[in-house]
């Protein structure tokens, strides 16, 4: 384990940025935080988390796949991929780090998504333990320990210092490069920090939320639950939950006519949208209730069924904070799971 | 995918001089959808057209692009060519490479480049064209004329003369309108009644014409060729079919002190009345506000004296539904109220009168039996002051007058002045005017006669104030030419009141969805080229409802409106312009934005049942465009937020394809 | 800070449910946290007693729900509308989006709603409870031993700071007193932007709109956006897209959306409230409202049912499109 | 050295009845204006959807002008009055977003005003050329 004074954090950033693009949470003028590329003078945000999750780095909201150039009746296919540079994402919370595992299972299983894979290869993740979780946090429900974030390098922040531990080869290599700025240390301070976090975790209002009622094999039991009607009743059908969600991985492939040809790109799609997976015969989910149910059944039943029981939610709480009508996975789990704690 | 043929015209050297036509046809060959491209000296010639027809057959073309002169020139030509070749005529697009290219750009390189782009835009558009078929609708061969003045009468007679049935709806108990109240007509000075009443009789006797007098239009539905109109026949408490118009009832009626509107209140009539001797229909009408029998059941004299037994106190308003193919608006005009013109003391002295009252005073059938006397004391006036433009051309006083020129006042005032001097040479006559406007056949001659032969004193200037003093009217006025103030002791002051559209016109316009200007005159479909048609198809304009006009002008417009109606009714079916709006009801919200902007009232709403995705049904309000009424302006397409409304022939996708092609 | 209490509303709603006036109630449902309130349809008095909530976070404008919900009820649906919501209600009626006969409106007074992000800006994360206490709000958090007391006025939502009206323009029944239209400063921020140079304005909007994630929350919450199919979802419209692929797409979406609701937008502020990225979208709509007021005379959408929106109307004396900038220059 | 003179791309929407005829008249009278101006015929200026204007900018137009009948002379009686309101609102909004206001214009050109049409187009092309390329409403995908 290595540590460094927080005073020197900008030197660390500068060192990382020498060899790779460095991204970290930065305060925006609306009061929220977002991942931005670090440049000299960029200040690291103190916020618990960003509005948009870091899944953007591996699975961007919009990504060109290829281009067709037309000249008269001739069509030329152009590979629009450019060589990727190595990049480092700093300050990823435990929940968001976990989300990459969930995405990996989708994009890195056969057939491998080469766009995603190449970004994963070039990216190094420096995670960061939480210090002040929010009332909306429920990562514990999914066995995520905010005091022990994974990633290539784990980091803990105390009042004055920051501690690093490498978890992977990539991480170790990067940490090596920072050796002149950091010093070797024991994990006493980190353990103390972990204690503190665990103490707070025990006080979180959603600490008792469980996944007991969910998981693979529950389709028949839950699909026709009458509660879906009420839960979905106010849903506006917007894509906020999906787009702030670190684990939602659905996309649409679309063609954009540039006038000189076509750019084929993919962009995030939302199962909440009325034209989601619309096919020649029409929609397979006809009402907002069905679309709403799909989102949660996928996260809590279908995904675990296909992925060794792993749930497709990391309890980051973004959807709790951002849903325009305050309907979210916690309410669904409590209602459908019948575990509304009084 | 279309199979498009491109035909580039040289137009002799008009195009070929600045545009490399060979290069254009070559470049367009490689555009998507183009399977054939060629150029020729004169595409519009017989040989050129044959070339197109042959190519359609040989290459199995489904769309045609002609790069040539303006579509305003030859679009129709090439559409016919396409039709002759078995294509839908609307599968033709024109790239204007003459007026908008070769004629305005001198350099061959730029001209050619632009011609290619314009050609590409046309190809892009035609690729999205769909065959359009004009809609057809049947025509009800009957016309409705609203208003029974000279305008309505003439229109009805002309339409009936062509063999079509016409109904006249007149809100007064008799037809005749304002002209029936006039004495003599300028500039010929023939008596109004002598030329009008025979026409009224013609109307009454014409088998093709029905008169709904004392009636109003209350509802209009439908569209050109197929109007559905509700007419309210007000109860006149006299059985129209039975009444002989003998007048016995009028004579015996005890209620005799009712102001006579026909004489503008200058004398009285009875509660049961016939407006004037030559009224058509010559049928009595009971004024329900004045009749004791109707008010409190006490009287019944008329019923007793009526030999025909025509009186029916229990009569009710009757509603008649009738179908029409065309509607003519002939609602006419009224002088404006003089209430706001205190400076002329109209409400203070009986001897300040309007020109229309003057007409009645000089009319042999008027309250004074044609003798020009002062309404106050019946004495002969020795000094008469005519004031022109009272409320007309009133730019600064819009709240009481009108900004426009009422057009007829100069001439009738000259007539009044002349007639006065002719009959009563001892009378001094002054006319105060801003300008004297006499454009019209024999008009200026007429005015000059008034001045030169009859010694009418025309003074350029306005009357500032009229003050009744004793039995005189002190007139204070300015003479702008002599630049001095004038003080005249007048016996009678005659105000040439501005005229305005009849008050019934505005609600009628709403019913007809016909547009009006800010003064409530009906607007024409085109101010120059379609002056007797309303923008609303099937609605025509006759007379002063469209703008101030004199009798000859009214009659000629009435005839013109009639000829337009005849042209419409002569058709068995109406073929529409197929480039009309259409609403995709699956996307329509029924919000009414489109109907709000439609100048033609072509959009209506229906509650339609839709099958919802969850297999339930939902009733939604959706817009429906009547293709027979829509003129294809496209205003609705932009007002529609969801894009449910689109325009055939100029669809969103087509225009965007043109934009794309141009901006490549 | 609200003058009307949860219990008053529950009792009114229960009364109307029990006496058969309405068959269901569209109200606010209790969530996990005090600020987390979900629009909910209550079918029974029991449901109301258990789940109904009314506090300073009941911002959601229910008018739009009537488009889908009113037709589904067998009888009438009771809707609780704050003054600003009633404007949307009227505008939707003007556009024939639901049947007035199917709705029973109880107008409820509103003292302004709080914005939880403003609360969090002051108190930080970890909010366990929020309660109202006169002009103050008490916030209990995970990290502070004692509740933090903040002034309610400091956390008022932007739209409430610039509240345009406390008057209910539609209701069947009103709880509390009839309010009045307020002279607000809601156009000040627009004027401030207008006074900037074009470059500054461009930079401002470029920055704001760059945050857009095209989640469509603004559109889907907007009571003026009730199209059966939005042009941005319609592959044939030529503008359909699902992502803010680049800065043009961001602008296109927001310009066209604002244009489509221009003259129909009642300035209810839902767009900005629901934006997860806090883009001040209301400033686009307010620009149109301000322009319309200045160009064509004051117009408040939804003030009455049946009004003709300014962009589907005209006079022959309207100013020319080129003149709008001359006026801007005078103002600057 | 060769200097590549910047040529703006201008889309002109012209109503069929007045302005398109005015453009034809300019042609009849051989009144020159830059070839950068490309005309799209629409039945009435009120057919021009703001989406068309933004589309043109997206695809690389540097200026968009809408021409219609003079107010009061609309073939459809009121179409251009709606155009006037719509475009006033839209242009003001574009200006508000910092997009150069000189890139958009509405001009009333009657069928008799061939000279006005040419003069308008010359002037507009000059104005747009002086602004340079449209950067603020461009879509880079369309320039690839």
Across the interface, whether the CB atoms of A73 and B32 are under 8 A apart is answered: yes
Q: Which of C221, C234, C245 to mutate to test the interface with A (most CBs of A within 10 A)?
A: C245
C214 touches chain A (CB under 8 A): yes
Residue B541 pLDDT > 80, yes or no?
yes
Confidence class for position C327, pLDDT limits 50, 70, 90: low
A288 within a domain of the structure (yes/no): yes
Predicted confidence (pLDDT) per residue in B261-279, tens digit: 999 999 999 999 999 999 9
Strands B383-390 and B428-433: parallel
Q: How far apart are CA B97 and CA B80, in angstroms?
A: 21
Bridge partners, B645 (sequence order): B583
Chain C CB contacts of A237 under 8 Å are 220
Across the interface, whether the CB atoms of A258 and D60 are under 8 A apart is answered: no
Q: How far apart are CA A106 and CA A59, in angstroms?
A: 11
Q: Where are the domains of chain B?
A: 4-126, 135-232+318-332+504-575, 235-316, 335-500, 581-648
Confidence class for position D5, pLDDT limits 50, 70, 90: confident
* A240 and A136, same domain (yes or no): no
* C31 and C169, same domain (yes or no): yes
Q: What is the share, in percent, of chain B residues with pLDDT greater than 70?
A: 100
* A133 and A14, same domain (yes or no): yes
Q: Looking at residue C331, what is its pLDDT?
A: 45
The answer to whether the Cα torsion of C70, C72, C76, C79 is positive or negative is: negative
Among A152, A174, A201, the domain-final residue is: A201
Predicted confidence (pLDDT) per residue in A51-77, tens digit: 999 999 999 999 999 999 988 778 999
Q: Looking at residue C293, what is its pLDDT?
A: 96
**How far is the alpha carbon of C231 from chain B, nearest alpha carbon, in Å?**
6
Q: Looking at residue C332, what is its pLDDT?
A: 40
Q: How far apart are CA C31 and CA B61, in angstroms?
A: 65
From first CA to last CA, the distance across chain A in angstroms is: 43
Which of D54, D87, D140 is the closest to C321 by Cβ? D87
Q: How far apart are CA C85 and CA B414, in angstroms?
A: 65
Q: How far apart are CA A292 and CA B563, in angstroms?
A: 65
* C28 and C168, same domain (yes or no): yes
Interface of C with D in 167-226 (CB under 8 A): 190, 193-194, 198-206
Residue B121 contacts residue B658 (beta carbons within 8 Å): yes
Number of domains in chain A: 2
| CATH of the domain spanning B235-316, picked from 3.90.1010.10, 3.30.70.20, 3.40.190.10, 1.10.220.110 | 3.30.70.20
Run of H or E including B614:
none
Q: Nearest 5°: phi and psi at C119?
A: -60, -45
Q: How far apart are CA A199 and CA C126, in angstroms?
A: 14
Please list, in sequence order, all residues whose beta carbon lies within 8 angstroms of the beta carbon of residue A267, skipping any fewer than 6 positions away.
Answer: A61, A62, A63, A251, A252, A254, C241, C242, C243, C245
Q: Looking at residue D143, what is its pLDDT?
A: 80
Looking at domain B4-126, its CATH class is alpha beta
**How far is the alpha carbon of C151 from chain D, nearest alpha carbon, in Å?**
34
Tell me the residues of C at the B interface, defined by beta carbons under 8 Å apart: 71, 94-97, 226-231, 234, 236-238, 260-261, 308-309, 311-313, 316
Cβ neighbours around B352 below 10 Å, total: 26
Q: Looking at residue B528, what is its pLDDT?
A: 81
Across B101-137, b (16+ Cβ under 10 Å) vs e yields bbbbbeeeebbbbbbbbbbbbbbbbbbbbeebeebeb
A113 within a domain of the structure (yes/no): yes
C182 within a domain of the structure (yes/no): no
* C253 and C142, same domain (yes or no): no
Answer yes or no: CATH 3.40.50.150 is held by domain B581-648. Answer: no
Q: How far apart are CA B516 and CA B30, in angstroms?
A: 52
* C251 and C326, same domain (yes or no): yes
Across the interface, whether the CB atoms of D85 and C259 are under 8 A apart is answered: no
Q: Where are the domains of chain D?
A: 10-137
* C246 and C201, same domain (yes or no): yes
Chain A CB contacts of B32 under 8 Å are 70, 72-73
Q: How far apart are CA B170 and CA B212, in angstroms?
A: 6
Run of H or E including B444:
helix B443-452
Q: Looking at residue B150, what is its pLDDT?
A: 97
Residue C163 contacts residue C84 (beta carbons within 8 Å): yes
Residue C48 pLDDT > 50, yes or no?
yes
The residue of chain D nearest to residue B664, with distances taken between CA atoms, is D59
Structure token pair of residue B45: 């010639």
Strands laid side by side in the C103-107 sheet? C38-42, C24-29, C77-81, C103-107, C173-174
C317 within a domain of the structure (yes/no): yes
The residue of chain A nearest to residue B33, with distances taken between CA atoms, is A73
A105 within a domain of the structure (yes/no): yes
B135-232+318-332+504-575 falls under which CATH superfamily? Answer: FAD/NAD(P)-binding domain (3.50.50.60)
* A197 and A244, same domain (yes or no): no
Predicted confidence (pLDDT) per residue in C258-305, tens digit: 999 999 999 999 999 999 999 999 999 999 999 999 999 999 999 999
Q: Nearest 5°: phi and psi at C314?
A: -165, 165
C309 touches chain D (CB under 8 A): no
Q: How far apart are CA C277 and CA B493, in angstroms?
A: 77
* A322 and A186, same domain (yes or no): no
Number of domains in chain C: 3
Range of the domain at C311: 188-331
Rg (CA), chain A: 22
Q: Nearest 5°: phi and psi at A251?
A: -140, 165
Strands C136-141 and A251-257: unpaired
Residue A341 pLDDT > 50, yes or no?
no
Chain C CB contacts of D91 under 8 Å are 321, 324-325
Structure token pair of residue C298: 């004051």
Q: Span B335-500: which CATH code?
A: 3.50.50.60
**Mean of the pLDDT values across residues A78-94?**
93
Across B442-474, b (16+ Cβ under 10 Å) vs e yields ebbebbeebbeebebebbebbbeebebeeeebe
Which of A48, A203, A330 is the closest to C125 by Cβ? A48
* C199 and C67, same domain (yes or no): no
Across C25-57, b (16+ Cβ under 10 Å) vs e yields bbbbbbbbbbbbbbbbbbeebebbeebbbbbbb
B75 conformational bin, left if phi > 0, alpha if psi -120 to 50, beta if neither: alpha
Q: Looking at residue D4, what is its pLDDT?
A: 61
The residue of chain B nearest to residue D12, with distances taken between CA atoms, is B659
Rg (CA), chain D: 15
* Closest of B335, B325, B355, B368 to residue B565, by C-alpha: B325
Please list, in sequence order, all residues whose beta carbon lies within 8 angstroms of the beta carbon of residue A114, skipping any fewer than 6 positions away.
Answer: none
From first CA to last CA, the distance across chain B in angstroms is: 21
Q: Looking at residue B524, what is its pLDDT?
A: 86
Q: How far apart are CA A187 and CA A179, in angstroms?
A: 17
A18 touches chain B (CB under 8 A): no
Interface of A with D in 46-75 (CB under 8 A): 67
Q: What is the share, in percent, of chain C residues with pLDDT greater than 90?
A: 87
Predicted confidence (pLDDT) per residue in C148-171, tens digit: 999 999 999 999 999 999 999 999
Q: What is the share, in percent, of chain A residues with pLDDT greater than 90?
A: 88
Range of the domain at A28: 2-52+83-201
* C217 and C324, same domain (yes or no): yes
Q: Looking at residue A339, what is its pLDDT?
A: 43
Bridge partners, C114 (sequence order): C156
Residue D2 pLDDT > 50, yes or no?
no
**Mean of the pLDDT values across residues B380-386?**
96
Run of H or E including A246:
none
Helix (H, G, I), strand (E, B) or coil at C147: coil
Q: Looking at residue B615, what is its pLDDT?
A: 77
Cα torsion for D17, D18, D19, D21, to the nearest 10°? 70
Q: Looking at residue D1, what is its pLDDT?
A: 42
Residue A341 contacts residue A331 (beta carbons within 8 Å): no
Predicted confidence (pLDDT) per residue in B476-498, tens digit: 999 999 999 999 999 999 999 99
Which of B619, B642, B653 is the closest to C228 by Cβ? B642
CA-based diameter of chain B, in Å? 98
* C57 and C136, same domain (yes or no): no
A236 within a domain of the structure (yes/no): yes
**Mean of the pLDDT values across residues A124-129?**
97
* Closest of C125, C130, C153 to residue C140, by C-alpha: C130
A252 within a domain of the structure (yes/no): yes
* Closest of C286, C293, C291, C283 to residue C265, by C-alpha: C286
Across the interface, whether the CB atoms of A238 and C219 are under 8 A apart is answered: yes
Q: Looking at residue A227, what is its pLDDT?
A: 94
**How far is the alpha carbon of B555 from chain A, nearest alpha carbon, in Å?**
59
Asked whether the domain spanning B581-648 has the same topology as the one spanning B135-232+318-332+504-575, the reply is no
B589 touches chain C (CB under 8 A): yes
Q: How far apart are CA B99 and CA D21, in angstroms?
A: 10
* C124 and C217, same domain (yes or no): no
Q: How far apart are CA B650 and CA B128, in angstroms?
A: 10
DSSP state of B102: I
**How far is the alpha carbon of D121 from chain B, nearest alpha carbon, in Å?**
12
Residue A166 pLDDT > 50, yes or no?
yes
Please list, in sequence order, all residues whose beta carbon lies within 8 angstroms of the beta carbon of residue B556, skipping any fewer than 6 positions away.
Answer: none
**Mean of the pLDDT values across residues B169-198?**
95
Alpha helices of A204-302 — where are they, by DSSP H? 219-223, 227-232, 240-244, 288-297
Task: Please state the ipTM of this predicted complex.
Answer: 0.94
Q: Looking at residue A73, what is its pLDDT?
A: 79
Predicted confidence (pLDDT) per residue in A244-266, tens digit: 999 999 999 999 988 888 999 99
Q: How far apart are CA B661 and CA D44, in angstroms?
A: 21
Confidence class for position D54, pLDDT limits 50, 70, 90: very high
Q: Span D10-137: which CATH code?
A: 3.40.50
């Amino acid at each position: 384990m290595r540590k460094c004074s927080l005073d020197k954090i900008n030197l660390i950033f500068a060192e990382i940025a020498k060899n790779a693009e460095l991204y970290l949470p930065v305060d925006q003028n609306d009061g929220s935080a977002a991942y931005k590329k670090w440049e000299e003078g960029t200040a690291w945000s103190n916020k618990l988390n960003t509005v948009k999750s870091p899944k953007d780095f591996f699975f961007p909201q919009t990504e060109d796949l290829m281009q067709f150039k037309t000249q008269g009746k001739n069509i030329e296919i152009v590979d629009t991929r450019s060589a990727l540079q190595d990049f480092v994402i700093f300050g990823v919370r435990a929940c968001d780090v976990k989300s990459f595992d969930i995405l990996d299972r989708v994009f890195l299983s056969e057939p491998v998504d080469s766009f995603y894979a190449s970004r994963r290869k070039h990216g190094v993740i420096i995670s960061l333990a939480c210090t002040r979780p929010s009332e909306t946090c429920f990562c514990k429900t999914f066995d995520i320990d905010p005091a022990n974030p994974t990633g290539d390098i784990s980091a803990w922040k105390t009042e004055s210092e920051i501690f690093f531990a490498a978890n992977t080869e990539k991480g170790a290599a990067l940490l090596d490069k920072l050796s002149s700025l950091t010093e070797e240390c024991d994990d006493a301070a980190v353990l103390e920090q972990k204690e503190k976090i665990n103490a707070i975790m025990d006080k979180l209002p959603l600490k008792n939320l469980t996944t007991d009622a969910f998981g693979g094999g529950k389709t028949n039991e839950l699909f026709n639950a009458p509660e879906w009607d009420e839960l979905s009743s106010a849903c506006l059908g917007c894509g906020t939950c999906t787009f702030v969600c670190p684990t939602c991985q659905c996309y649409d492939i679309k063609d954009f006519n540039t006038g000189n040809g076509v750019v084929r790109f993919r962009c995030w799609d939302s199962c909440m949208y009325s034209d989601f997976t619309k096919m020649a015969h029409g929609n397979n989910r006809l009402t907002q209730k069905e679309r709403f149910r799909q989102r949660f059944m996928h996260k809590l039943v279908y995904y675990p069924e296909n992925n060794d029981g792993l749930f497709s939610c990391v309890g980051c709480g973004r959807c709790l904070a951002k849903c325009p009508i305050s309907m979210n996975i916690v309410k669904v789990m409590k209602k459908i799971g019948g575990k509304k704690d009084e | 995918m279309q199979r498009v043929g491109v035909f580039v015209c040289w137009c002799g050297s008009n195009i070929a001089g600045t545009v490399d036509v060979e290069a254009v046809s070559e470049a367009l060959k490689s555009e998507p959808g183009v399977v054939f491209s060629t150029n020729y000296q004169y595409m519009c010639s017989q040989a050129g057209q044959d070339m197109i027809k042959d190519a359609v057959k040989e290459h199995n073309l489904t769309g045609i692009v002609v790069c040539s002169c303006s579509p305003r020139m030859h679009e129709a030509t090439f559409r016919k060519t396409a039709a002759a070749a078995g294509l839908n005529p609307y599968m033709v697009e024109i790239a204007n490479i003459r007026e908008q290219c070769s004629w305005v750009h001198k350099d061959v390189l730029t001209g050619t480049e632009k011609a290619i782009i314009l050609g590409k835009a046309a190809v892009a558009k035609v690729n999205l064209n769909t065959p359009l078929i004009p809609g057809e609708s049947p025509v009800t061969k009957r016309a409705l004329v609203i208003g029974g003045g000279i305008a309505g009468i003439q229109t009805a007679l002309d339409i009936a003369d062509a063999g079509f049935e016409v109904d006249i709806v007149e809100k007064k108990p008799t037809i005749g309108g304002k002209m029936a109240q006039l004495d003599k007509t300028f500039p010929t000075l023939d008596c109004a009644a002598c030329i009008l009443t025979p026409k009224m009789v013609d109307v009454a006797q014409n088998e093709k014409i029905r008169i709904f007098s004392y009636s109003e239009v209350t509802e209009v539905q439908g569209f050109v060729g197929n109007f559905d109109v509700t007419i309210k026949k007000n109860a006149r408490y006299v059985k129209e079919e039975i009444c002989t118009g003998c007048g016995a009832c009028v004579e015996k009626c005890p209620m005799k002190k009712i102001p006579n509107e026909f004489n503008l209140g200058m004398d009285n009539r009875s509660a049961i009345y016939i407006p004037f001797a030559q009224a058509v229909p010559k049928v009595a009408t009971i004024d329900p506000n004045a009749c004791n029998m109707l008010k409190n059941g006490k009287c019944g004299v008329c019923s007793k004296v009526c030999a025909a037994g025509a009186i029916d106190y229990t009569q009710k308003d009757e509603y008649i539904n009738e179908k029409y193919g065309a509607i003519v608006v002939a609602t006419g005009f009224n002088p404006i109220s003089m209430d706001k013109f205190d400076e002329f003391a109209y409400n203070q002295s009986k001897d300040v009168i309007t020109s229309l009252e003057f007409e009645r005073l000089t009319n042999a059938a008027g309250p004074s039996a044609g003798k020009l006397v002062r309404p106050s004391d019946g004495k002969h006036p020795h000094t008469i002051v005519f004031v022109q433009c009272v409320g007309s051309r009133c730019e600064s006083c819009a709240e009481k007058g009108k900004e426009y020129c009422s057009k007829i006042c100069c001439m009738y005032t000259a007539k009044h002045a002349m007639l006065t001097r002719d009959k009563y040479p001892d009378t001094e006559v002054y006319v105060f005017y801003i300008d004297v406007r006499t454009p019209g056949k024999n008009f200026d001659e007429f005015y000059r006669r008034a001045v030169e032969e009859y010694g009418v004193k025309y003074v350029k200037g306005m009357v500032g104030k009229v003050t009744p003093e004793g039995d005189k009217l002190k007139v204070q006025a300015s003479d702008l030419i002599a630049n001095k103030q004038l003080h005249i002791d007048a016996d009678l002051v005659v105000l040439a009141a501005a005229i305005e559209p009849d008050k019934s016109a505005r609600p009628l316009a709403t019913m007809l969805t016909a547009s009006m200007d800010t003064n409530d005159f009906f607007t024409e479909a085109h101010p120059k080229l379609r002056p007797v048609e309303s923008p609303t198809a099937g609605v025509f304009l006759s007379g002063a409802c469209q703008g101030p006009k004199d009798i000859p002008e009214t009659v000629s417009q009435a005839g013109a409106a009639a000829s337009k109606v005849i042209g419409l009714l002569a058709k068995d079916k109406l073929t529409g312009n197929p480039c009309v709006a259409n609403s995709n009801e699956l996307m329509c919200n029924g919000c009414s934005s489109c109907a709000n902007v439609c100048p033609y009232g072509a959009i209506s709403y229906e509650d339609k049942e839709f099958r919802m995705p969850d297999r339930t049904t939902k009733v939604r309000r959706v817009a429906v465009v009547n293709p027979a009424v829509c003129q294809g302006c496209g205003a609705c397409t932009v007002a529609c937020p969801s894009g449910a409304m689109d325009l055939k022939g100029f669809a969103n996708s087509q225009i965007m394809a043109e934009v794309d092609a141009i901006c490549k | 800070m609200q003058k009307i209490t949860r219990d008053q509303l529950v009792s009114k709603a229960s009364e109307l449910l029990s006496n058969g006036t309405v068959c269901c109630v569209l109200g606010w449902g209790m969530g996990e946290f005090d600020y987390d309130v979900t629009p909910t349809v209550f079918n029974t008095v029991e449901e109301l007693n258990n789940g109904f909530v009314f506090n300073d976070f009941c911002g959601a404008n229910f008018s739009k729900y009537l488009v889908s919900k009113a037709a589904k009820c067998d009888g009438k649906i009771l809707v609780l509308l704050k003054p600003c919501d009633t404007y949307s209600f009227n505008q939707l009626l003007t556009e024939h989006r639901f049947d007035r006969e199917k709705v029973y409106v109880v107008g409820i007074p509103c003292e302004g709603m709080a914005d939880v992000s403003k609360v969090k800006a002051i108190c930080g994360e970890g909010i366990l409870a929020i309660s109202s206490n006169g002009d103050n709000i008490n916030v209990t958090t995970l990290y502070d031993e004692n509740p933090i007391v903040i002034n309610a006025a400091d956390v008022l939502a932007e739209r409430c700071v610039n509240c345009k009206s406390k008057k209910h323009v539609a209701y069947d029944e009103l709880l509390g007193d009839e309010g009045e239209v307020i002279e607000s400063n809601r156009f000040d921020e627009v004027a401030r932007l207008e006074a900037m140079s074009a470059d500054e304005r461009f930079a401002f909007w470029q920055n704001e709109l760059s945050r857009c994630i095209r989640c469509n929350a603004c559109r889907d919450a907007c009571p003026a956006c009730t199209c059966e199919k939005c042009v941005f979802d319609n592959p044939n419209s030529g503008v359909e897209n699902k992502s803010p692929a680049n800065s043009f797409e961001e602008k296109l979406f927001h310009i066209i959306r604002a244009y489509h609701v221009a003259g129909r937008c009642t300035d209810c502020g839902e767009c900005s409230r629901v934006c997860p990225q806090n883009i001040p979208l209301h400033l686009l709509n307010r620009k149109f409202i301000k322009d319309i007021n200045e160009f064509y005379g004051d117009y408040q959408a939804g003030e009455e049912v049946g009004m003709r929106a300014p962009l589907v109307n005209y006079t022959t004396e309207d100013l020319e499109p080129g003149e709008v900038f001359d006026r801007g220059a005078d103002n600057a | 050295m060769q200097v590549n003179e910047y040529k703006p791309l201008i889309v002109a929407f012209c109503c069929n009845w007045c302005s398109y005829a005015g453009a034809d008249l300019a042609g009849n009278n051989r009144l020159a204006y830059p070839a950068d101006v490309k005309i799209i015929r629409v039945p009435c200026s009120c057919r021009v959807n703001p989406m068309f204007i933004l589309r043109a900018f997206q695809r690389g137009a540097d200026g968009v002008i809408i021409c219609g009948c003079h107010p009061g002379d609309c073939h459809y009686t009121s179409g251009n009055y709606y155009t006037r309101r719509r475009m006033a609102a839209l242009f003001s909004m574009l200006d508000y977003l910092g997009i150069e206001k000189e890139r958009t214009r509405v001009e009333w050109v009657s069928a008799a005003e061939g000279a006005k049409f040419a003069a308008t187009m010359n002037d507009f092309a000059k104005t747009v050329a002086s602004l340079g390329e449209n950067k603020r409403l461009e879509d880079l995908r369309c320039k690839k």
